[in-house]
Amino acid sequence: MSARKQRLLKAHRRNKRVFILFFLLTLAVLGFWLGWWMVPLLLVLAWVAHEAWFADHLFYRACDDYQYDFPGGTPHQAVSLGAGLVRLSEPMAEGETLILELELKTTWLGRWLDPFVEVGDDHQAFERGVKGRRFLNLSGQRAILAQGSLAVCGRYCTLSATGTLWVMANPDYTQQRVMILAPHADDAELAAFGLYSRSEQVSIVTLTQGEIEAENFQRLGLSESQAARLKGRLRSWDSLAIPQWGGVPVNRCVQLGYYCLQLSLMAGEPGKLFGSRESGDSDVRPVRRQNPMNLPADIDGAPTWQNLIADLVALLEHFRPEVVVTPHPELDPHSDHVASTRAILEAIAASAWKPATLLMYANHLHDNDRWPMGPAGAGIALPPVIEQLPCDKLWSPQLSSDVQLDKAMALAMEHDLQEVPVFKRQLRRLIQRALAGRRWPATGSNEFFRKAVRRHELFWVRDLSD
């Protein structure tokens, strides 16, 4: 956790304690003057207000500017936003990924309803109370933008009169050999279903079984270890079977069978075994039986960092990817995700085969558990970055409505995304639907059906050929 996040969390807890104290004193005064029957009514109203407007987890201020720097030499130009249109100041440079940098400022309604920007046939949402620099994703709307007829309008927020358009050119990576690194069984689908469903030469490597947090399976009368073992088997099967829905043959899908939340510990002690925290197992071989090839760790089944690196080296040299897709180590804070990218970089350094490009994704964020904000099917604005990242290019391919539906169905097959939300979360959603205008898709109740099934996918591009 960053020092900035610790400061904000400390301030949030302090302000919350002050608010609770003030609220209780106010309740006592109102109860004395208006009758004590008012106290439970006001408590219920306060809880409803909290669930509707104050339950989001944002570890930054809505007035903070997003801090993005793109590589030197990235084409950009000033644009004007007047009369409801985006007007260019010069002809656009060549490039398919278009990012519009501008200033947003909330209206009073934007403190209670999610502010968003309508841009062409898309709309992209931001934090309630937004005030500062933000980045819209215009990828897929190049033709109408070049004609000067791209409509733009802020809802519950106002837009600055000028902005900066950034244009980034990339090859179509789906035409190259691609390897997708998934720390868990659903990560490839969440981040890159659109990419891999269009790729002719793609392999998917899943690092862990995904066996932890198996309480839901204990309803079947299983012990904790039995439930974890069953969940690990099911999610391992998911990692091999579900990519076929996107056209990836089973002989290009590999499950390595390491254990959840152990990868970072493995990296710290490369020769030590780290078995499952919940199943008690310490042999990766049982979930590897459907793999299309033998790997170094198949010899002893030991869940060690040394074996993981050896497995990845063998896979690199077997599939020979030109592009590796992996979690963004600075943006995505999940410890398994950070360790997965560390592992593939170590493997690349040790391998005789050297990919040319790293595409990085973020399925989780440090600062905002609702990003991408807004409803399913909308575009993906750039995520909050309050502390600057390395200067990487972006690639944001567009997904058709048919591909979005297929992606949603792939997520629906994932065992880990099938659980019904607990009653408190269902009640919160009803309150937010009624009072905050939020909507969730019919395709699934897990939050990832809203966050991941979008008009775009988004990758940070890093050149490995230097």
Q: Greater confidence, 44 or 384?
A: 384
Write out the two tokens for 229: 């073992």
Contacts of 6 (CB under 8 A, 6+ apart): none
pLDDT confidence bin for 38, thresholds 50/70/90: low
pLDDT, residue 32, reads: 66
Q: Taking CA 170 as the corner, what is the angle to CA 147 and CA 340, rounded to the nearest 5 degrees?
A: 135
pLDDT, residue 387, reads: 87
What would the mean pLDDT of 266-287 be, rounded to a whole number?
97
What would the mean pLDDT of 223-228 be, rounded to a whole number?
97
Q: Greater confidence, 57 or 2?
A: 57
Q: Which helix (H) or strand (E) holds 11?
A: helix 3-34
CA–CA distance, 86 with 247 (Å, rounded to integer)? 38
pLDDT, residue 199, reads: 97
Homologous superfamily assigned to 174-377+392-437+444-463: LmbE-like (3.40.50.10320)
Task: Choose among 401, 128, 277, 335: nearest CA to 409.
Answer: 401
pLDDT greater than 70 at residue 427: yes
What would the mean pLDDT of 64-76 be, rounded to a whole number?
95
What would the mean pLDDT of 114-121 be, rounded to a whole number?
97
pLDDT tens, position by position, 2-19: 555 566 667 666 766 676
The chain-wide mean pLDDT, for the chain, equals: 93
pLDDT greater than 70 at residue 34: no
What would the mean pLDDT of 384-411 be, rounded to a whole number?
96
What would the mean pLDDT of 26-33 be, rounded to a whole number?
68
What would the mean pLDDT of 396-418 be, rounded to a whole number?
97
Cβ atoms < 10 Å from Cβ of 246: 23
pLDDT, residue 35, reads: 67
Write out the two tokens for 11: 């301030």
* High-pLDDT (> 70) share of the chain, %: 92
pLDDT, residue 62, reads: 93
pLDDT, residue 269, reads: 97
pLDDT tens, position by position, 303-360: 999 999 999 999 999 999 999 999 999 999 999 999 999 999 999 999 999 999 999 9
User: Residue 151's beta-bridge partner residues?
Assistant: 85
pLDDT tens, position by position, 171-197: 999 999 999 999 999 999 999 999 999
pLDDT, residue 362, reads: 97
The structure tokens 């995304």 sit at 417
What would the mean pLDDT of 85-101 be, rounded to a whole number?
97
Q: What is the DSSP string of 318-380?
A: HH--SEEEEE-TTT---HHHHHHHHHHHHHHHHSS---SEEEEE-SS-SSBTTPSPS-TTS--
CA–CA distance, 388 with 391 (Å, rounded to integer)? 9
What would the mean pLDDT of 119-133 be, rounded to a whole number?
96
What would the mean pLDDT of 112-141 be, rounded to a whole number?
97
pLDDT, residue 4, reads: 58
pLDDT confidence bin for 21, thresholds 50/70/90: confident
CA–CA distance, 263 with 207 (Å, rounded to integer)? 9
Domain ranges of the chain: 3-53, 174-377+392-437+444-463
What would the mean pLDDT of 255-278 be, rounded to a whole number?
97
pLDDT tens, position by position, 146-166: 999 999 999 999 999 999 999
pLDDT, residue 1, reads: 42
Q: Going by DSSP bridges, is the β-strand pair 202-208/178-182 parallel, antiparallel, or unpaired?
A: parallel
> 365 exposed, middle or buried (CB, 10 Å; 0-12, 13-18, 19+)?
buried
